[in-house]
Amino acid sequence: MRELLEQSPEYPNFQYLCKLCSVHVDNIQGAHKHIKEKRHKKNIMEKQEENELRALPAPSPAQMRAVDAAKRVLCVKTSSLLVCIAHYTTVPVFKESVCLSLTLSPSACSLRLYGSCLTRFAFKTSDLNIDVAYPPNMTQPDVLIQVLDILKKSAEFSEVESDFHAKVPVVFCRDAASGLPCKVSAGNDVACLTTNHLAALARLEPRLVPLVLAFRYWAKLCHVDCQAEGGIPSYSFSLMVIFFLQQRKQPILPVYLGCWIEGFDVKRVDEYHLTGVQTEGLYVGWEHRPGSASDGRRDSRPKPETQKREAEKKSENVQESVSLGQLWLELLRFYTLEFALEDYIISIRLKELLPRDAKNWPRRRLAIEDPFALKRNVARSLNSQMVFEYIQERFRMAYRYFACPQSRNGLRARRAKHRSKAARAGPSDPAHIQTPRDSRGQANRAQERDGDSSGEEEEENEEEDNDDEDDEEEEEEDLETGDEEQCVSRGLTRLLVTESGKRDTSHQTSSPSPQNGLLLDSEDEEQEEERRKVPEQSSIAPEDLHYIFDRMIFTGGKVSVFLLPVCQKVCGHLAKKKFNTGKVLMFLRVLLCQQPPTVVCSICKRDGHLKDDCPEDFKKMELAPLPPMSERFREILDNLCKLCYHELSPTLGEQQKREQILCSLERFIRKEYNDKAQLCLFGSSKNGFGFRDSDLDICMTLEGHDTAEKLNCKEIIEGLAKILKKHTGLRNILPITTAKVPIVKFEHKQSGLEGDISLYNTLAQHNTRMLATYAALDPRVQLLGYTMKVFAKRCDIGDASRGSLSSYAYILMVLYFLQQRQPPVIPVLQEIYDGNTMPQRMVDGWNAFFFDDLEELRLRLSEFQKNRETVGELWLGLLRFYTEEFDFKEHVISIRQRKRLTTFEKQWTSKCIAIEVTNFIMKAFINGRKLFGTPFYPQPGMEAYFFDSKVLTDGELAPNDRCCRICGKIGHYMKDCPKRRSILKSHIKKINSKFKNYEKSVATFLCQHEKKENDKDEEVRDEDREPRERRCFQCGDMGHVRRDCPEYRHLRQRGTSAPGKHTDTHGGLVMSLVLHF
């Protein structure tokens, strides 16, 4: 905490600055409060640990040789030559089975290997990545669906499954001959380019493969390489190793972009793109794609040959002087102490450090750039700060372990120190962490005998190997024999020290002994002190230096003595219940031997669970069975659906009123804007499913223009909005030109109806006629449509302007259900036609054909078997269909075909952004299923029981995070809301009535806000009008005033005949008449 000698321009009133936390404090009390905060204490501990790590001495040559030996042993055990060679036999099998079976010529389709098997960064458990290259006349879903069908029929592959909803859709299978797991994708060009690049670098630098394998194995031990649990993909660790080798003071790997290129600028680095490895891996091609049209030239040229040779020569010189162990330590130090992970981007394309501002990436967590997908952050799956801090801690722990000398007998030396306190006067041996294998051997000996000499322990420890492969093989043998009790007992022996042995040891020694490299709770403080001490290199002989890769070393797991007897009982109980013994042992490892990072759900972005266990996934909910429907309850549901229709459907007079408003608007627009304009109604006003207060959906076209191709829609919409603001019968005029279909929103003053005018929305007109045809086929269609709209309105899930679904979408859901019902209630109009091919009726590039001859349609439908279910039975069946049968993740609601259409065929596999809204809708459907499926007999007039919003939505309100805080709609911010001005005016009127003495200040306030609103809305003010302009306030036409308006005369004559009505010079008569009639 430092006192500021000069005031900060951003914080002028603050006197102190905490440099550690970058926090400004205004006084002494605030400084003391900040020092006591957890964040400050945590930063102090991290700073102290960083200083300790920086103070570690340079490793000795013997220590480097020990680290190097450990890495080479690890590479031999983890990497599999069989995996890297298996593609020579597996890929031809794919070629014969897949390519020849696709509906193409064999030359049009090809297979290519990518992934870790090609780069030689593979483990023994790595899968085989195969990509299918297909011609342009096919799509990715077509190829993968055919591949899935071919592999299921082939006897050469087993365990064939698909995951078409992943970020990269794949088909999983296993080769029957080799047993290798395979993943087949299609059109994954970026992954293939990246793989070829990494493979070329691996051939250029032989030390890259063992470094990447060790780094990947470390990440696997630390459990940070699983994307589904909030980690980062495995190939990102390869990019991190390459980036480190490029950024060394003596670079080992070359870079491709830099200041030697004429006009190169780091701020415009995304204009330079790598095109792939060329000429058998000797060159890397790149091209310049300027963002502006002025720099239209594109340079495509490889790096100069002389520069490439210099890089190769430098790599050879470094190879002789830098060992693999030294590179491993430098790698850990680089990402622990030197490189600022949160400030820069890991990019292997250029030498200069790439700041995050250059790509507008946020300054948090990890950022890794794919060399061939520049807009993609490879580490974007790392979406939790807790997981990022966990990774940083694992880096520090790994660097501390390898930077300090370690020996085989370090644990025994520390135990001897516990037994005799006098030994502390001599040279202190370093603190070490025991391997699981060693601890299991000691646990077995503790059960056989108590208090044996340490000499026998040394002999057995020297014979044991520090790897888990033998243990895994023994576990597999136990699983094969099926002796679950023996397997669980052996697993407990390996992982735990029995309660009796633990007690005996605790009596003999001054503190509990370490188990599995874990420290008991009573040893935490002393171990923390020893961990911070720097061991003396002279105290360990060079031949005793020894390093291992073990999970407990890097994760720092700790076990409490109280868990040991509990785990014994749990294991025995699970074995008696005939649980899978492998899962039992995995349970123990997770419970005792690991501290994995906090998992993060990829669906709801919350900590503590994975996407498979996400509580927001409504498909995981168990639905209770419904009782059978009685005749009386069926009649109640029938009457309920009919009541919704009769109370909310518009009358004939209301429909005529909408037509009058349309004609009035058309006449006004023709006079004021364009005499060739034509307006027509569509949507709920014409499709047979409209409410009495439904919006006015109007489409405007111009004579002489069949389409809007040669028209400036944005300019027309803005001009139309400017003209409509002159219409005195309208208010709240708002042009929305950024929408997919630009519209002008308005509100009709007399009727209170809201409406919008769109330009050349002809496809919506055809959809309106199609819905009207379906509504005329069967009366149950209309009844169900109105019931569905009432249900959505009561649950507040039927307004697309507020981020939910539109009423049109719910009508499509009703039609789709009626088409899929057995037997179907309505046909698919697109599948009824004469001949073998569907007729073409192109509208805006889409085939809008449907069979629209009602008389002919009724004759054809008379031949089919009709569905005899009542509307009440269909309503309950609809709720059950969408909650029990239909899978929204796998299928698409499409009324164009009877066959189920998958989301993968439509390529609609991306995650829904508003997942909260989706779950809210499905919760309403699930509650509706329960409410309408449980018989209840209300009294007449109590039908509102079935549409209680508190029951249907569990008392929750619909999500409104995307909505305007004033009008509750989406599409604009609160500052641009059209209702903001009217609210501001009413607020000022209240202030003016209460405080008359402040009229001048209020007037100034009003003028300021009026000016801002007029600038935003571009409203024509009174002073901007022509001085001689005469306009009627009743109809909006020019040339006369209201007293001469024929419409006003008609209203005045009707008003004089009505008793109790008095004229009002301010138009009160007009409003009263409107409300009366």
pLDDT at 372 over 90: yes
Q: How many CB atoms lie within 10 A of CB 611?
A: 16
Q: How far is CA 406 from the centre of its chain?
A: 43
To the nearest 10 degrees (0 to 180), the angle between helices 38-54 and 385-403 is 30
- For 162-178, the pLDDT digits (tens) are 988 888 899 999 988 88
CB contact burial 210-247 (16+ within 10 A = b; e otherwise): bbbbbbbbbbbbbbbbbbebbbbbbbbbbbbbbbbbbb
> Residues 665-682: what's their mean pLDDT?
91
Output 723 or 581, whichever has higher pLDDT. Answer: 723
Name the band, by pLDDT with cuts 50, 70 and 90, for residue 184: very high
Compute the distance between CA of residue 1067 and CA of residue 18 in angstroms, rounded to an integer: 67
The pLDDT of residue 54 is 85
Beta bridge partners of 172: 161, 183
> Residues 585-612: what's their mean pLDDT?
58
Output 862 or 704, whichever has higher pLDDT. Answer: 704
pLDDT at 1006 over 70: no
- For 393-424, the pLDDT digits (tens) are 889 888 888 888 877 665 444 444 444 443 34
The pLDDT of residue 5 is 74
Output 703 or 229, whichever has higher pLDDT. Answer: 703
Can you count the helices (H) and strands (E) in the chain? Answer: 37, 24
pLDDT at 811 over 90: yes
The pLDDT of residue 432 is 35
- Tokens of residue 354, six digits: 């790439």
Compute the distance between CA of residue 142 and CA of residue 187 in angstroms, rounded to an integer: 12
Compute the distance between CA of residue 267 and CA of residue 232 in angstroms, rounded to an integer: 26
- For 49-105, the pLDDT digits (tens) are 888 888 888 888 887 888 888 877 777 766 654 445 444 445 555 555 555 455 545
Highest mean pLDDT among 22-26, 519-523, 680-684: 680-684
Highest mean pLDDT among 518-527, 590-599, 620-629, 794-803: 620-629
Name the band, by pLDDT with cuts 50, 70 and 90, for residue 883: very high
Three-state SS string over 726-766 comes to: CCCCEEEEEEECCCCCCEEEEEECCCCCEEEEEECCHHHHH
Highest mean pLDDT among 51-60, 608-617, 635-644, 791-800: 635-644
> Residues 888-901: what's their mean pLDDT?
89
Output 305 or 774, whichever has higher pLDDT. Answer: 774
Compute the distance between CA of residue 723 and CA of residue 1018 in angstroms, rounded to an integer: 11
The answer for residues whose C-beta is within 8 angstroms of residue 500's C-beta and 6 or more apart is none
Compute the distance between CA of residue 686 and CA of residue 693 in angstroms, rounded to an integer: 13
pLDDT at 862 over 80: no
Q: Where are the alpha helices (DSSP H) in 250-381?
A: 305-321, 324-333
> Residues 290-303: what's their mean pLDDT?
47
- Tokens of residue 664, six digits: 């009035």
The pLDDT of residue 286 is 87
Q: For the range 132-137, what are the long-range contacts, defined as Cβ-Cβ under 8 Å and sequence gap of 24 or more?
A: 132/98, 132/184, 132/185, 132/186, 132/187, 133/109, 133/187, 134/104, 134/108, 134/109, 134/186, 134/187, 135/104, 135/108, 135/109
Phi, psi of 721 (to 5 degrees): -65, -35
Q: How many CB atoms lie within 10 A of CB 1051?
A: 17
Handedness of CA 735, 736, 742, 748 (dihedral sign): negative
pLDDT at 325 over 50: yes
Compute the distance between CA of residue 84 and CA of residue 87 in angstroms, rounded to an integer: 7
pLDDT at 328 over 80: yes
Output 941 or 518, whichever has higher pLDDT. Answer: 941
Phi, psi of 1072 (to 5 degrees): -65, -40
Distances in whole angstroms, Cα of residue 736 to Cα of each of 202, 722, 744, 761, 976:
55, 13, 6, 15, 11
Output 306 or 258, whichever has higher pLDDT. Answer: 258
Residue type, 456: E
The answer for residues whose C-beta is within 8 angstroms of residue 156's C-beta and 6 or more apart is 93, 97, 175, 176, 177
Name the band, by pLDDT with cuts 50, 70 and 90, for residue 1045: confident
Compute the distance between CA of residue 632 and CA of residue 448 in angstroms, rounded to an integer: 76
> Residues 897-903: what's their mean pLDDT?
88
Q: How would you classify the pairing of strands 354-355 and 344-345?
A: antiparallel
The pLDDT of residue 239 is 95
The label of the residue with tokens 């597999």 reads 476
> Residues 631-639: what's their mean pLDDT?
93
The pLDDT of residue 215 is 92
pLDDT at 206 over 70: yes
Handedness of CA 337, 342, 345, 351 (dihedral sign): negative
pTM score > 0.85 for this model?
no
The pLDDT of residue 437 is 37
Beta bridge partners of 1031: 1038
Compute the distance between CA of residue 1051 and CA of residue 1053 in angstroms, rounded to an integer: 5
Name the band, by pLDDT with cuts 50, 70 and 90, for residue 1012: low
pLDDT at 551 over 90: no
Cβ proximity of 439 and 517 under 8 Å: yes
Compute the distance between CA of residue 477 and CA of residue 993 in angstroms, rounded to an integer: 90
- For 467-516, the pLDDT digits (tens) are 444 444 444 344 334 444 444 444 444 444 333 333 333 333 333 333 33
> Residues 575-587: what's their mean pLDDT?
51
- For 814-848, the pLDDT digits (tens) are 999 999 998 899 999 999 988 888 898 888 888 89
Handedness of CA 434, 438, 443, 447 (dihedral sign): negative
Compute the distance between CA of residue 815 and CA of residue 190 in angstroms, rounded to an integer: 42
The pLDDT of residue 120 is 87
Q: Where are the alpha helices (DSSP H) in 589-712?
A: 631-648, 652-672
- Tokens of residue 127, six digits: 């899968």
Name the band, by pLDDT with cuts 50, 70 and 90, for residue 458: very low
The pLDDT of residue 347 is 93
Highest mean pLDDT among 118-127, 979-988, 990-999: 118-127
The label of the residue with tokens 């990246």 reads 194
Handedness of CA 871, 873, 874, 880 (dihedral sign): positive
- Considering only 701-715, 880-894, 1025-1039, which range has the smallest mean pLDDT? 1025-1039
The pLDDT of residue 736 is 86
Compute the distance between CA of residue 1036 and CA of residue 1029 in angstroms, rounded to an integer: 12
Q: How far apart are the first and last CA of the chain?
A: 76
> Residues 611-623: what's their mean pLDDT?
68
The pLDDT of residue 1024 is 42
The pLDDT of residue 860 is 80
Compute the distance between CA of residue 573 and CA of residue 494 in angstroms, rounded to an integer: 18
Highest mean pLDDT among 619-633, 772-786, 788-802, 997-1011: 772-786
The pLDDT of residue 1039 is 64
pLDDT at 574 over 50: yes
Q: How far is CA 350 from the centre of its chain?
A: 30
The answer for residues whose C-beta is within 8 angstroms of residue 1022's C-beta and 6 or more apart is none
Q: How would you classify the pairing of strands 110-114 and 128-133?
A: antiparallel
Cβ proximity of 287 and 300 under 8 Å: yes
> Residues 552-573: what's their mean pLDDT?
52
Name the band, by pLDDT with cuts 50, 70 and 90, for residue 300: very low
Compute the distance between CA of residue 433 and CA of residue 410 in angstroms, rounded to an integer: 8
The label of the residue with tokens 């000069």 reads 6
The label of the residue with tokens 């600055």 reads 17
- Considering only 6-15, 260-269, 975-984, which range has the smallest mean pLDDT? 975-984
Beta strands in 299-393 (DSSP E): 300-302, 344-345, 354-355, 369-370, 373-377
Name the band, by pLDDT with cuts 50, 70 and 90, for residue 15: confident
The answer for residues whose C-beta is within 8 angstroms of residue 489's C-beta and 6 or more apart is none
> Residues 957-961: what's their mean pLDDT?
68
Beta bridge partners of 407: 545
- The SS3 assignment for 322 reads coil
| Nearest C-alpha neighbor of 80 from the set 113, 112, 115, 121 | 121
The pLDDT of residue 962 is 62
- Considering only 576-590, 618-632, 723-737, which range has the smallest mean pLDDT? 576-590
The pLDDT of residue 63 is 78
State the Rg of the chain over Cα.
38
The pLDDT of residue 511 is 34
- The mean pLDDT value of the chain amounts to 73
